[in-house]
Each structure stands twice: as C-alpha cells, then as structure tokens.
Amino acid sequence: MAPSKREVVLVGFDGMQLLNLVGPAEMLDAATQVLGGDRGYRVSIATPDGTPVRGSAGMRLAADKSLDHVRPRAVDTMIVGGGMRIGEAVD
C-alpha cells in the first residue's frame, strides 16, 4: 500500500498565540517537502465555529472548517493552540 499524507488539524481560538499554530504548520510543511511525493502531512485549521480567530497580538487567522466538521477518525494528529489567555477560552 502506498504511503499517504497524515491528516493534521490545528485548532485555533480567539486570544491564542498564533505562533502555537503557525510554528507547527511550518514545521509540518517543511517535513512534507523533504519527504516528497504522497508522504508527509495535510494540514487544516479548525476553529469553534469555522470563522477566523484573532490571536493575542490582534492578527487574524482564517479557518478551513469548524470543529463540528472535523471527523475524529479521519484525523491522525490534532494540535490545539495555547497562550496566556487559554483560561478564557476554556471557560
């Protein structure tokens, strides 16, 4: 069976530090480029309602889908952004 790209979902929310998602996204993209072909990672961004979120520094990050549209069995890895305001997000 041919190798396939691993599905990675990055979860963003208002007030997170964007570096917590952008850093892993860049690293996974670099790994995919090195591996080449059908190997590596397919990355998408999910937010609670599928709309853009605003990071702690005020910059916006667009979403590919809402968390409701993430199929758990289709995801190999999920990375949730963090930051100094994580408590506000989980309340």
pLDDT at 91 over 80: no
The answer to whether the beta carbons of residues 44 and 10 sit under 8 Å apart is yes
Where does the pLDDT of residue 59 fall: very low under 50, low under 70, confident under 90, or very high at 90 and above? Answer: very high
DSSP strand E in the chain: where?
6-11, 41-47, 53-54, 60-61, 65-66, 77-80
Tell me what percent of the residues of the chain surpass a pLDDT of 70: 89
Give just the sign of the alpha carbon dihedral 8, 52, 67, 16.
Answer: positive
Residues 6+ apart with CB under 8 A from 76: 6, 7, 8
Q: Which of 74, 75, 56 is nearest to 12 (CA)?
A: 56
Digit-coded pLDDT (tens) for 29-44: 999 999 998 899 999 9
